[in-house]
Structure 1
Amino acid sequence: MRFKIFFLYVFLFMAGWSYGQKFKYAYYHGEEVPFKNVNQVIRDFKGYTWLATDQGLFRFDGNTFEDFNTTLRSKTIRTFVSWDENNLLFSNDTGIHRIFYANDQPRIASFKTSTDFHYPTGLFKDSQNRLWTGQMNGSILMFSQEEDLGKLFDSVSRVKTPKMFFGEDTFGTIWVLVPGQGLFYLDDTSQKFALFKNVGRSHHFLVADDVIWLVGDRLEKFTVTRSRNVVNRQIFAVDKEFRHIAVNHKGSMFLNTESAIYTFQNDGNNAKLSKVFGANDPHRVEELSFGTINRLHFTKDENASNEVIWVCSDKGLTLMWSSFFQSVSGLGHDNIRAMNSNPEGPILISQGDVSRIRDQGISKGFEKEDNLNGIVGIGSLNDNIWYGSAEGMIFQYRGRQLARTYDLSARGSGIFFISADHSGNLWFCQAASNQPIVGTAKINPKGDVIEYGKEKGFDNRILVIREGGKNELYAAGIGVSSYLYKYDPLSDRFQNKSLPFPFKVSGNFEVHDMAVDRLGIVWLATTDGLLKYDTETIRKVRLGQYTDNEVRSITAMPDNALWLATDTNGLIHLDGEGNYVIFDEDSGTPSKISSYRCMVLYNDSQLWVGTPEGVVYSSRTNPWPYQTKTPIIKEVRVDNSEIEGQNTIQLKESQKVRITMATLTFPSEDVNYRYKIFESGLPREDIDDVAWSDVPTPELVLEELKGGNYRILVQGQKTGGFRWSAPVVVELDVSQRWYRTWWGVFLLVTIGFFFFWFFVRRWLLKRVGSLQASLYHKQKELAEKEAELVEQSSTLKQKKNELKSTGVNIYLLHRLIKQIPEDSSWKTVLPILSKLVELPTGIDVFELAYKQGEVIRFKGYLRGNHEMIKREEAFNERNNLASYVMVTEKPLLIHDFTKEVGDYVSQQDSIGYVSRIYVPFDQKNGGTAVFCIYSKEKNAFSQQISALLGILVRFLSVNANDELK
């Protein structure tokens, strides 16, 4: 591998930053993994990592190890090299092999064959696309595209050589280090390897452009010319014997002894070494148990700056990576009480006493400030720094010299917040002691203390004052109607800008902190969540389950994003589109609990956050959550059959699909998944409305899907400062069950029609035979019917009389309806209806029945009685006919009450009328009512009378303008 010397020179002038400090780590040791000794790792173009182990070849997706040893005769995998974008090469005792993909599945085949193979060890690809391999007997084989069998070079070592290391300088010279034997180079003239120098106990080397580094019992660096002359030789005094040297993607150099790793920094002729420790818990520093280290390897996601260190050893595999947030080495994990930063000055942190942070490139150191104790507030402007104490004192420093002291103890107790505006005024907030404090105060550039209380517009206590990008000064504090004020410089007063809340807030509402962004929008960190104020509206920002959580600190970033510190749920990053990411101990913070108003930006780009258990800073400037890599679909199974090579998954409604996902980030045991499924062709705006569903494992199981075409979106999110990935899209084509298809329906209808025809024909034949048998009986009955005709003729006469009576009733009904005024009340209508029992209609009694509460009430008239009759019964559709008709809403004609009543209700009533008609109708402004008429004679009413009565009640339901009461 070739490295630009530029990165090395840059490194030599900067610290090893966090690499010499603490790393999060994951072990893959012992019985949990199918191997022990790991010789090397390499990453393929898909993002998988391959492991060369003593137990064979394994592919690692960050969560599981897949065994690829079924076709290998030797399981001792020694080394890897990347040949091109589609092929990886590895060596074992039988030769050199390649790994490639076919139909998206990994395949293994022989790369080169040679009769000169003798246990190949190291592999190296040079700038001319030649492959070099060292062998156990000390010889070297070179393969080019023109020479399939390889070119054998004489042994550079006369003894068994388990390891050889290759390199190439900027002039194209091939270098070989044989540990214990010497450093060799390929002589272009003789085409033989020549001894460059005896390097003593050198175990490994690194070639970067024209610089060669040698490590062993000493650390040596020298520069070579084209003619291989040595210049600028430098030997670093070290007290350890190093086994390997490696450089990461940032140019930082790593050295390892047999079982420990160090970062290296050039400090004259001395090697400044920093040992690497583990810190999965931000409160602890741990010795890492690597075993005997075989190789160091570095990987970096293309869309994230977080780098992973792979430590290959005889105990297995160890992964190390830096947290999103780092702590200052040596600074105590105590409660942070105040923080301050400005472009001209350092970062100042108070844990009671004050620490000044030293910036050493990206690493951080600190020193204590003398004579400063009990500090709870810090403010700064240019080279002036003000410290507020818990006793109500403000100490003004110019540089590092005390310039002035303000004694405000008579006003209150601790000065917990200090902020300077663009005019040089220093605003401060002070805690109350034995009397309440309304408003705030300032120290003007002359040093005068000026009060801003009720006479200056305040109604309550103020907790924070900040100035925005438009030089607008806001103050915020306590109370639902006094939480926000804006300073008016013309009147030298604060104006109450508190808007009524369109949502419910707690009774002890207060604003802990605020930020004014470049657009002038005020973001409020409150007891009831994050609020957004834009001069005209106040609204609560939606943060899912954290919407109502208390927010203690807030910072607006230059990119319009926000960082929030909650009371007990860690930090939240909120981008301009409303997407948020949670940061907690997995991200490197020592606690999910945050301190009040302890969040600052250093140089407008690096975030510092204070907690009750110490301070942390973002490991990169302009901190933004890392992007989780898009998941891949590793395996698809329909029922128990694996599906390969399909762009669209085909299945039936009765089948179950099992989709196994992987996110090629390392490690990936902490990746959470979610998905949404919808019909293909759904408009984009509707897709956004489809809810996400969590997947508890990297396996998504779907069953009982209805027929149709579907699209599934799957996202992953890694913990520790990562946002949701871009979704992977899965297409599903679910075929309907056969009986739901058009041909299935047609087949079922055809079969059904056949069975229907068959059984109907049999029934008809049987029925015809039965009819013929009964024909004789019918003919006999005809004679008897003729005898009845005479009797029926008399009945016809009676019917004629009934028709005449019906005509009379129609005439009477017409007269009655004409007498009823339009849009009249029941009070008017009822007396008119009394004529039904006065005229010759055959009706003895009529009533109107209606429900009131749990009873049914009756109003009506009795023939021969001019007074209205009223009565009531318990409403029960099983005991009285009026309730029955009201429930069924169907008219009822009774010819003989005694015989027919049992068909409808379970008991007789006592009103004593044999013939009856009940007709239900809807009141215009009420519920259902029933029109009831009665006669003492049997068969007194016909269907014609019932029909006429139906006409009457329909007229009444439309005409009556009130409800029966």
Structure 2
Amino acid sequence: MVNWFIQLQGEFLTFVENQNQLRNLFFIFLLLSYICVSQNPYHFTIDKTSGLPSNSVYDIFQDSKGFMWFATGKGLTKYDGNYFKTFTADFQTSKSGSCIAEDDFGRIWYANFDGFLYYVEKGIIKALPQKTSLGYYRFGIIKNELFLIQPNAVFVYDLKTLTIKYKHKISDKQISFCYATSEKFYALGDFLYEFGSENVIIKHDLPNNFYKNIVTPIMNKLGRKLIINSKSSAVFYSFENGLFSKSKLTNSADFIQNTAIIDNAIWVCTPNGIYKKDLVSNQHKSYFSYQNISYAFKDKNSNYWVSTLNKGVLFIKDFSNNFIDLQPKPISLVLTKNEIYIGSEKDLIYKLNIDNLKTEIIHQSKSNHAISQIFVDTISNNIFFNSFKFNILNKYNKIINNYSIAIKDIKKVDEKYFSFAASGLLGIFYVDENLKSSWDFIFEKNKNEAFSGFNQSLLLTNTNGKSTEYNPTNNTIYYATNNGLIAITNDGKSKEIKHQNQTVFLIKIQKYKDKIIGLSTSEKLYSINSNNEISEFNLPDFIAKEKFSRFFIRNQFCYLFTEKSIYEFDFESQKTQKILSISNDIEVTDVVLKNNQLFFATSKGIVIKNRNEIDNFPKPSLIINEIQINGKRIELNQVTALNPDQNDVEINFSTLAFVPNESYPVSYKINNSDWKTLDFSDKNLKLSSLSPVKYNIQLAINDNNSKIDLQTIQFTIKKPFWLHPFFIIGFVAIFMGFIYWIYNLQIRKIEKRNLLQ
């Protein structure tokens, strides 16, 4: 859509310039230049690049512990927010499948598309004893029974023994669909069959012309109602208390792949996105029209997961209007009173109205260069931006000047001057020569009439500028260059600012109050006070060792960008918190803050986040998966008393993150020892050659500076029999008795020898 508007805008401007007429059409153009806010929410993509075994995903499920499960084209996969584990075996007839469920024994089940059932138990995939298959149908788990359609019958398995408990004969020529709730199993054939857990069967007559309206049915549940959709029509039936009621979807798709009931709405999954019909308000919305959707799921933490048949899984925190889809992608942001100006790829500038979130294109060219730097002078209303040239755009959105100079950064010094850092040139320039400034002297002193430019005075030459900043406290302009950090005052004096007598190489500098904050080429932060003293920026321990790719100071906050996260540091409270996770499929390049709303420039568009909701994300969970003693798995409730030779203990755990790409290290302590922290990627605690004592092992997740979700494992390694007191006392007694016997023996020998003499 954006490209269409760009083309239209260009054609229209050419027309007006050439024809110089039809002024009224200009207002039509202004209306057309507004881009509608996309209905697609901000989302993460979880696909093969993230570790998913296949981009074809057919079903989504969350187990009782909180793990996510995906039925993929390469098998059943378990996901903890960071790592995938796929369960397959050679005895499977095929790996692709659907209908994931969990029984009361903690086993995870699914059916492959050949109609055979498999389950994961204690980390191993196994097959249900099943001689034949009718093809793929959904099965049902109700209490301790498993319901499965088979030729001419419904088999009921005892889940404890996995043996057939009942066989309910069905004489229907064909079963079109099966579905299970927590209480009932339904089979749809010539009748609607309803099976309960107590071997009770109820047969319901279908409405007249049912299969004319429902050619290929899909069944789901809304409250106590059973919803029966058609894959190829808009008609659907609801069934409750033995009665059918006919309804119709509006704007339904030509073909429906699946349905889900979420938030009192039918979510219709199609090859062209999701169609959502609210059954209460009767409103409808569409999402992801470019995606081939197979299923939609809402987890226990109100996160949404959408599976696709070719692009993996989409993770959506919420479907509220928190995302503006912009292409070309936004790169740089600058905030004014009520607007955000957005510099993007392909030399295009948007203006975003903060109140209504509508975007307007105010500049475009035929260049493919990205706008890496954008600045708005609130006095003159001029916009300065850098793409393949340095440009000045006036308040009428016209280029009034452009210069062939690669400017990397500009900052406001006072009402008259700006400082600039460019390749080979650093200095100041004015926007109104009639104003007076304390920097007039140095400007006139360094002005070079022979150099054609933009009202600038060169303070440094033959050096590459990377960034610049002005500190009004000491009336000093700072330049980050390839030769170090240079400070220049308005009396013309300049000097290099060093850290511990070493040249410091910074790539970006910004000010907060009387300090300059700088990011070095080694991705560390430094602070420069008004006395030009440099020190390392003091950060909390949990991010002190992070590498920062960029940072931005907005109001009293410093936003720190790492490879996987963005943190917010509050200069006033000195508190730090994570505000956004970054997945592999997205790049974040800038952020501004307005009315407690954060606006992020990302490779997908503008992401909007409310600062008040930062703490609303659920905390991660620590899950103990299994314990191995001497290489053999032992149930957790059996790890209480171990034999002396059972002294090699391995604890396997998962840090269950409810947002993809969230990583948390785990710490542990043994008895009264100090806490030790494992590596992010280490999910096993190995303890070898433990001594025979009582052990209290604690594990906890490190979240910022606190330890959360403490898990405790207690066991005792028995002492060997020779260390028990009774054995020691008995041994000592026997030994003393032996010594006494030897002693008496020797005495008798001596006495006998004396008698012989």
Q: What TM-score range do you get, normalising by the shorter chain?
A: 0.5 to 0.7
Q: Which amino acid aligns with 1:296?
A: Y
> Contact conserved, 2:487 with 2:494, CA < 8 A, in 1?
yes
Q: Which amino acid aligns with 1:400?
A: N
Q: Could you say which residue in structure 1 is the equivalent of 2:97?
A: 38
Partner SS for 1:79? coil
From 181, 192, 217, give the equivalent of 1:139. 192
Q: Which amino acid aligns with 1:242?
A: I
CA distance in 2, matches of 1:272, 1:416: 42
Cα deviation code 1:142-196 (max 9, x no counterpart): 75x9x862432124479999964456789x87654566897555597xx5547x4
Q: CA deviation at 1:554?
A: 0.9
Q: Which amino acid aligns with 1:587?
A: N
Are 2:39 and 1:16 aligned? Answer: yes
Are 2:200 and 1:149 aligned? Answer: yes
Q: CA deviation at 1:563?
A: 2.0
From 677, 682, 686, give the equivalent of 1:692. 677
Cα deviation code 1:502-525 (max 9, x no counterpart): xx58524336233639xx886532
Q: CA deviation at 1:92?
A: 3.6
Q: CA deviation at 1:67?
A: 3.2
Q: CA deviation at 1:651?
A: 2.2
Q: CA deviation at 1:464?
A: 3.4
CA distance in 2, matches of 1:714, 1:184: 51
> Contact conserved, 1:139 with 1:156, CA < 8 A, in 2?
no
> Contact conserved, 2:505 with 2:520, CA < 8 A, in 1?
yes
Q: CA deviation at 1:379?
A: 1.0
Q: CA deviation at 1:406?
A: 8.9
Task: Name the structure, 1 or 2, with higher relative contact order (CA <8 Å, separation 6+).
Answer: 2
Are 2:410 and 1:418 aligned? Answer: yes
> Contact conserved, 1:427 with 1:465, CA < 8 A, in 2?
no
Q: Could you say which residue in structure 2 is the equivalent of 1:355?
A: 349
Cα deviation code 1:267-291 (max 9, x no counterpart): xx999775445xxxxxxxxxx7xxx
Are 2:332 and 1:309 aligned? Answer: no
CA distance in 2, matches of 1:80, 1:448: 82
Change (3 A) 1:678 1:441: same
Q: Which amino acid aligns with 1:139?
A: L
Partner SS for 1:346? strand
Cα deviation code 1:468-507 (max 9, x no counterpart): 9xx99996544999969899xxxx9999999985xx5852
CA distance in 2, matches of 1:395, 1:117: 80
CA distance in 2, matches of 1:17, 1:543: 36
Q: CA deviation at 1:762?
A: 5.2
> Contact conserved, 1:14 with 1:361, CA < 8 A, in 2?
no
How is 1:808-827 mapped onto 2 (pairs within 5 angstroms)? none
CA distance in 1, matches of 2:339, 2:484: 34
How is 1:79-90 mapped onto 2 (pairs within 5 angstroms)? 79=138
Q: CA deviation at 1:300?
A: 3.2
CA distance in 2, matches of 1:247, 1:505: 66
Change (3 A) 1:168 1:715: closer
CA distance in 2, matches of 1:665, 1:56: 32
Partner SS for 2:637? coil
Partner SS for 1:242? coil
Are 2:478 and 1:464 aligned? Answer: no
How is 1:392-791 mapped onto 2 (pairs within 5 angstroms)? 395-398=392-395, 400-402=397-399, 405=401, 413-419=405-411, 427-431=418-422, 433=424, 437=427, 443=431, 451=439, 463-465=467-469, 476-478=478-480, 506-510=502-506, 512-514=508-510, 516=512, 523-528=517-522, 529-531=524-526, 538-541=535-538, 551=548, 553-556=550-553, 562-564=559-561, 573=567, 586-589=583-586, 600-601=592-593, 605-608=597-600, 618=607, 622=611, 629-639=620-630, 642-644=633-635, 646=637, 649-655=640-646, 656-662=648-654, 675-680=666-671, 682=672, 687=674, 690-694=675-679, 698-714=683-699, 726-759=709-742
Partner SS for 2:651? strand
Q: CA deviation at 1:21?
A: 10
Q: CA deviation at 1:755?
A: 4.5
Change (3 A) 1:699 1:526: closer
Partner SS for 2:550? strand
Q: Could you say which residue in structure 2 is the equivalent of 1:122?
A: 178
Q: CA deviation at 1:637?
A: 3.4
Q: Which amino acid aligns with 2:273?
A: Y
Partner SS for 1:633? strand
CA distance in 2, matches of 1:179, 1:18: 26
Q: CA deviation at 1:599?
A: 5.0
CA distance in 2, matches of 1:163, 1:511: 61
How is 1:211-250 mapped onto 2 (pairs within 5 angstroms)? 214=249, 221=250, 235=251, 240-246=254-260
CA distance in 2, matches of 1:158, 1:166: 18
Change (3 A) 1:662 1:478: closer
Q: Which amino acid aligns with 2:469?
A: I
Change (3 A) 1:123 1:545: closer
From 352, 358, 374, give the equivalent of 1:378. 374
Partner SS for 2:128? coil
Change (3 A) 1:472 1:746: farther
What TM-score do you get using the length of structure 2 for normalisation?
0.62
Q: Which amino acid aligns with 1:149?
A: V
> Contact conserved, 2:669 with 2:699, CA < 8 A, in 1?
no
Q: CA deviation at 1:349?
A: 1.8
> Contact conserved, 1:443 with 1:449, CA < 8 A, in 2?
no
Cα deviation code 1:561-583 (max 9, x no counterpart): 73235xxx576536666687997
Q: CA deviation at 1:359?
A: 8.4
Q: CA deviation at 1:632?
A: 2.1
CA distance in 1, matches of 2:394, 2:266: 39
CA distance in 2, matches of 1:676, 1:530: 27
Cα deviation code 1:266-323 (max 9, x no counterpart): 9xx999775445xxxxxxxxxx7xxxx8x51414352x84x32245x8x9x9644469
Q: Which amino acid aligns with 1:661?
A: F
Change (3 A) 1:149 1:552: closer
CA distance in 2, matches of 1:363, 1:46: 50
Q: Could you say which residue in structure 1 is the equivalent of 2:454?
A: none
From 255, 269, 293, give the equivalent of 2:269. 255
CA distance in 2, matches of 1:768, 1:533: 98
Q: CA deviation at 1:345?
A: 2.0
> Contact conserved, 1:675 with 1:695, CA < 8 A, in 2?
yes
Q: CA deviation at 1:627?
A: 5.9
Q: Which amino acid aligns with 1:154?
A: D
> Contact conserved, 1:628 with 1:724, CA < 8 A, in 2?
no
Q: Which amino acid aligns with 2:394?
A: Y
Q: Which amino acid aligns with 2:526?
A: L
Q: CA deviation at 1:659?
A: 3.1
> Contact conserved, 1:87 with 1:99, CA < 8 A, in 2?
yes
CA distance in 2, matches of 1:67, 1:395: 68
> Contact conserved, 2:37 with 2:357, CA < 8 A, in 1?
no
Change (3 A) 1:319 1:47: farther
CA distance in 2, matches of 1:419, 1:48: 61
> Contact conserved, 1:254 with 1:261, CA < 8 A, in 2?
no
Change (3 A) 1:179 1:454: closer
Cα deviation code 1:742-789 (max 9, x no counterpart): 44544454454445445555566667889999xx9xxxxxxxxxxxxx
The percent of aligned pairs where both chains have the same amino acid is 10
Change (3 A) 1:463 1:296: closer
Change (3 A) 1:120 1:755: farther
Tell me how many residue pairs correspond in the alignment. 639
How is 1:67-78 mapped onto 2 (pairs within 5 angstroms)? 67=126, 69=128, 78=137
